[in-house]
C-alpha cells in the first residue's frame, strides 16, 4: 500500500511539471515531436530520483528546467546527426 501511495505521489508531481517541461523544450527545439521526446526523456530521468519528490515545487521546476535544457540539446544534436547521415540523391543538372 505504501508503495502505491509513493507511486501516485510521483505521478502527480511529474504531471504538474509535464506542461512546463513541454513548453520549455518546444521553445528550445521549435519542433513538436522533438519537444515531446525531450519532455518524456526528462520526466523519466527525474522519476528515478527519489529525493526529487521531497523538494518544493519551486525547486522541482528549477531542476526540471535544467533537465529539459540538457535533454533538448541532446535530442537536437541526435536529430541533427541522424539528419546529416541521411543519404540524399544528387540533383541532375537540368
Summarize pLDDT for 43-78 with one digit per residue, the tens: 999 999 999 999 999 999 999 999 999 999 999 998
pTM over 0.85: no
Task: Give the model's confidence band at 81: pLDDT under 50 very low, under 70 low, under 90 confident, else very high.
Answer: confident
Task: Please tell me the predicted confidence (pLDDT) of residue 17.
Answer: 97
Report d(CA 75, CA 23) in Å as an integer.
15
SS3 89: coil
- Expressed in angstroms, the distance from the first to the final Cα of the chain is 72
Amino acid at each position: 500500500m505504501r508503495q502505491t501511495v509513493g507511486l501516485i505521489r510521483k505521478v502527480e508531481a511529474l504531471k504538474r511539471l509535464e506542461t512546463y517541461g513541454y513548453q520549455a523544450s518546444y521553445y528550445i527545439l521549435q519542433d513538436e515531436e522533438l519537444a515531446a521526446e525531450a519532455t518524456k526523456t526528462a520526466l523519466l530521468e527525474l522519476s528515478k530520483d527519489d529525493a526529487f519528490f521531497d523538494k518544493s515545487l519551486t525547486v522541482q521546476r528549477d531542476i526540471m528546467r535544467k533537465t529539459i535544457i540538457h535533454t533538448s540539446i541532446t535530442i537536437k544534436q541526435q536529430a541533427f546527426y541522424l539528419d546529416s547521415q541521411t543519404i540524399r540523391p544528387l540533383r541532375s543538372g537540368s
